[in-house]
Structure 1
Amino acid sequence: MALNKLFNFSLVLLFPFLSFSQTSQKDLTKLSYKELNNLYFDNENNPKKQILFTNAYMAKAKRENNNIAKARGNYQIALLYYLKDENKAISYLDSVIKYSKNTNDKFFPAAAYCEKADFLKKQFKFKEAMDNYNLAEKIALQTNVDYYYVVREYIGITKSEDLGEYNEALAIYKECYDYYKTKEYRTDKYANNFQDIIFGIADCYKSLQNTDSTTYYNKLGFKESTITNNVSLKYVFVLNEGANQVLKKNYHVALDSINKALPQMIKYNDVGNTLAAYFYLGKAYSGIEKKDIAAKNYLKVDSIYSRTKEITAEFIDGYPFLINYYKSIGDKEKQLNYISKYMIIDSVLHKNYRNLNKLVRNEYDIPHLMSEKESIIYSLKKNNLRYYWGIGVLLLVILTVSIFGFYQFNLKKKYRSRFEQIMDKSSEKKNEQDNPDSIQVSTVFFKKDNIGIAEELITEILEKLNDFEKAKGFLKSDITIQNLSSLFETNSKYLSKIVNTYRDKTFIQYINDLRVEDAIENLKKDSKLRKYTVHALALEFGFNSAESFSAAFFKKSGIKPTYFIKQLEDLSEYKKLNNN
């Protein structure tokens, strides 16, 4: 990510330093912003000096009331908190955003939204992270098209590496690829971004098991990084092709590529790809039946995990191998150790909602592991104190499984409550419609704020909106605020403002909510409609895709349409049984 100058220090250590040499700091404020910025980054290994320079930068910005300079100063402080306090770093990034809004700066607040998204990803808040990436994307599109495609790459990385949405990520990477192809993509300005995109495409194809396309883009990336002398990235392509050859079962070719790449990963301190290299060496040696060497490489994967506490579902297959390996040589203590580690990693990945159920393998699902673990513990009971540790871990796993089951139970209960609320609201709405004497009060008189539109025009547009709703004009999939305002013989700004004020929604949310409400009522009444696929229902109610329909339905009701339909079917069956 973009935050590549990070420092680990305690803020407590800074307090005595902040009072040091006030005269020196006053002199520093006479320097230009560029000079202070350079001094800050030239001292990346000395956070005490950095805080001095950033304080001078901020003092100068406040004295001159320069908002964009205040934003950059807060950005520097956020960098200093990167490894120490993520929440404080986010707080300073929020200040960056506040001071840089509407400045048309080339990088802020877009970069601040990106960095904030990166912190949120580390906290496994993927929805909030994507929201911030999307804000960065919108701003960058207006202020800096080059940076817009950098943001698009970040979104692609998140979809690919964190969310497992490989097809969506691939589409984004190809969009970026087409953009960089129009640029001088071998210059210092674009070369690294272009080659990163090529890697993203290759890696997505690898995850999708499209090995031929993976090879094509790995070769292209190797060629481009060789031409531009990007040594570190060149060997990442070599490593990725080695992993790809493992998938093809060309194990000797894979070993040659990975062994060429591994020293470079270590040289450049690329921990993530070093782990990947050892993992795929393990798979390759396992493929040619060299179990002892495979085990040594998987142990190195485990060593990196033990040090960093970071691992993804892609790299956990080494643990089942180690469990079987030590079982085959009769080392029950190590077998027990790696069963425990494997179960703990399973628990962590489930807790963080990443790749749910991906860890449940054919042989090594959790019940099987628990049973095997109990057997090993029993055999070691008389002469090994690890028995007690094993029981503790076993209880921890059982507790974790119980908590997860309790969570699922509460989730189902919550969804059922939301379903019942929908049914109650629908009944209330029907009663209101069946009662012609119900009091109708013009929405205009509830709104006291002057929105800059004549009251007569507001009334006229609200009446047209009522007619539009009764006629179900919202079911047209191509409805937009522009064509509806044209139909109403008004302008889109007036229509947008009236919808925002009198419907308390954005125009898109207003249309989507009407569609969802219509879908709910029709699904309740029409059992045939409940047999439709989600895609067909989406088209029926004006949406362009199953995904957009599901998202709008969940946002409005708190449950997915598939769950709603199932509950309706269960309710219908229950009524039939009672009637009989």
Structure 2
Amino acid sequence: MVVFLILINTINVFSQEKIDSLQNKTYIELADAFFNEDDNKDTIAATSYATYFLDKAKKEDFLERIAQGFNLLAHIHKGQDKLNYLDSIIQYTKDANLKEYPLEAYIHKTGYYYAKRDLKKALDNCIQANLYADRSDNENQKIRTKFRIGLIKTRLGYYEETLEIFKDCADGYLKESSDNSYLTSLYAIADTYRHLKLLDSASFYNEKGIKTALSKGYEERYYYFLLNEGANQYDKNNYQKSIDYIDRAIPYLQKINDKPNVAMGYHFLGKVYKQLNDNEKSELYLKKVDTIYQETSDIHPELRSGYEILIDIYRKNGDTEQQLLYIEKLLKIDSLLKSNYEYLTKKLTKEYDTPKLINERDIIIKKLENKNIYWSISLLITLAAFGVVLVYNYKRQQINKKKFEEYLSSQKRIDKPIEVKSDELLISQDIQDHINLGLEKFEKNKGYLNDSISLNSLAKQLHTNTNYLSKMVNHYQEKSFGSYINELRLEHTIERLKTDLVFRKYSIKAISEEVGFKSPESFSKAFYKKTQLKPSTFIKQLKKEG
């Protein structure tokens, strides 16, 4: 309703004489007029041109132009209105064979959700974009999709993988002379090298980015490279250089209200001053990081260590109230990061992992409440419970290992000879041979990975009927059609888990979707029935086996 009212109001702004003058304009002329008004920051006029563009396309039933019209409107709107326009593109074009759509809409939705730090939705849309990108001959769209995949993987900590992705993207943008996107890729490369602790390489790309940004007139990019090099100089233990770089970057980032990167600058200043033994300034900057987090509810995993520093400062100062306050905050952050960054959980708890924080918090509370008498008892109970858990986990691991080894040695699918003839089916031998040949091709092409495959759809593919196909599967495979499909999917999954290290890192939900199951629950249930192990346990055992 909001979008509809906006369109009506903007059309009413244009006089009938102005609308009449648009009737003879081509789509290119209307688009040029739109971007001219957009450059001039005249949103009302730009919306009117985009609305007329879309209306003209709908009247002419010109699908590609309809998609372009929605894309123009999405370009100048924000929030839910923007998403509505992008969803309209997808709805109109999802079954069409267009070059740019709906891929363009999925790329924009990925960027939208990534900026909101809703990584789950960003990844969902990025996966859809990647599916369409594989079929597209538009190199720019392919690069942009690949870059967004790299961003998400970086957020999850896969720096080795993303380095090559970003380098490929930089090469692609350079060939296209897309300066702004090229600079974005250089920044991503420099930041990835920094996380990999290849600090000289990070400095090389930061300096390259600084020079390119200045020569091409991209002021914003220039300041981001300054910030990144400031962080890099901290890692090199060049603390004064780190301060100089960051102090030059922060005023501009504050000017454009980029709070996440302002927080990143404060974080490294806090760490620098901690190394310089200036706890007062360290505390000041790290508390500014927390203030921004409270405002935005967004925190990068890298900023977690700042809370550890604050806790350490308050512990040494004997300020138990502040120590407890920041322990509580860190516990909440860990909980948030665990839910949003499942793959990063193991990397987030170094000096103050969650169990240690909980224990430390309980100790402080008991001290504050003068309940020291219970401390030793609680500690003994905790240690005893911990010992029980250790024994239980050890026995469970041994059982899982035995199940895993038994499965690998004995659970192998035995294909019945496709040449076997049977008169029991009451199906002519020619038809049997035809269906068997089709099933061989179906298995070879991995058609079972399609989550929409059914007895009916496969019968149509094989040019037979469901009765014949069902009988053939029941007779030769000795199982129902559904069990046959699931068996193929599970065998494919297990073989891929054995050989594909990247596939092992997928979530159970992602694996289940990749191999055609409707839900993670149905996948896990079928996997356990086949192997007597949960998928996550099976993957852990594979990792232990090397």
Classify the TM-score, shorter chain. 0.5 to 0.7
Give the alignment of 1:121-200 within 5 angstroms.
121=114, 122=116, 123=118, 124-125=120-121, 127-140=123-136, 142=137, 144-161=138-155, 163-180=156-173, 183=175, 189-200=177-188
**Structure 2: how far apart are the matches of 1:91 and 1:567?**
40
Q: How does 1:28-107 map to 2 (within 5 A)?
A: 29-30=22-23, 31-34=25-28, 36-37=30-31, 40=34, 42=37, 51-79=47-75, 82-84=78-80, 88-95=84-91, 97-98=93-94, 101-104=96-99, 107=100
**Partner in structure 2 of residue 567 of structure 1:** 533
Work out whether residues 78 and 92 of structure 1, in 8 Å CA contact, stay in contact via their aligned partners in 2: no
Q: Which residue of 2 aligns with 1:326?
A: 314
The runs of 5 or more residues in structure 2 that have no matched partner are: 371-395, 447-457, 471-483, 535-546
Residue 247, structure 1, aligned to residue 213, structure 2: no
Is residue 463 of structure 1 aligned with residue 455 of structure 2? no
Q: Distance in 1 between matches of 2:249 and 2:529?
A: 48
Distance 1:283 1:33, change over 3 A: same
Matched letter for residue 148 of structure 2: Y
Question: Percent same amino acid among aligned pairs?
Answer: 26
Using the TM superposition, give the Cα deviation of residue 461 of structure 1 relative to its aligned residue in structure 2, in angstroms.
4.8
What are the superposed Cα offsets for residues 249-285 of structure 1, whole Å, 9 maximum, x if unpaired?
2222322222232233334443332222111111122
Q: State the distance in 1 between where 2:89 and 2:61 align.
A: 19
Distance in 1 between the 2:189 and 2:69 partners?
A: 36
Are residues 1:116 and 2:109 paired? yes
1:97-496 alignment, distance < 5 Å: 97-98=93-94, 101-104=96-99, 107-119=100-112, 121=114, 122=116, 123=118, 124-125=120-121, 127-140=123-136, 142=137, 144-161=138-155, 163-180=156-173, 183=175, 189-358=177-346, 361-374=349-362, 376=364, 440=425, 460-464=433-437
Give structure 1 stretches of 5+ with no counterpart. Answer: 1-8, 383-411, 445-455, 482-493, 505-510, 521-533, 569-580
Instruction: Supply the distance in 2 between the matched residues of 1:72 and 1:198 (Cα, whole angstroms).
Output: 30
Counterpart of 1:165 in structure 2: which amino acid? Y
Q: Which amino acid aligns with 2:169?
A: C
| CA distance 1:216–1:563, change in 2 (3 Å) | farther
Question: CA contact under 8 A between 2:63 and 2:92: conserved in structure 1?
Answer: no
TM-score (norm 2): 0.67
- Please say if residues 311 and 327 of structure 2, whose CA atoms lie closer than 8 Å, have aligned partners that are also in contact: yes
TM-score (norm 1): 0.63
Distance change (3 Å), C-alpha of 1:338 and 1:12 = farther
Deviation of the 1:514 alpha carbon: 7.4
Is the partner of 2:108 in helix, strand or coil?
helix
Q: Work out the CA distance in 2 between the residues paired with 1:548 and 1:498.
A: 31
Picking from 500, 521, 524, the partner of 1:545 is 500
Closer/same/farther in 2, CA of residues 314 and 89 from structure 1, 3 Å limit: farther
Structure 1 residue 369: Cα displacement:
3.1
Change (3 A) 1:565 1:305: same
1:313 Cα deviation after fit: 0.8
Per the alignment, residue 450 of structure 1 pairs with none
Q: 1:363 to 1:110 in 2, by over 3 A?
A: closer
The count of residues paired between Structure 1 and Structure 2 equals: 452
- The amino acid that maps onto 1:462 is I
Contact 2:253 / 2:259 at 8 angstroms: preserved in 1? yes
CA distance in 2, matches of 1:431, 1:228: 63
Name the CA shift for 1:223/1:72 in 2 (closer, same or farther; >3 Å): same
How far apart, in 2, do the equivalents of 1:66 and 1:235 lie? 44
Amino acid at match of 1:116: K
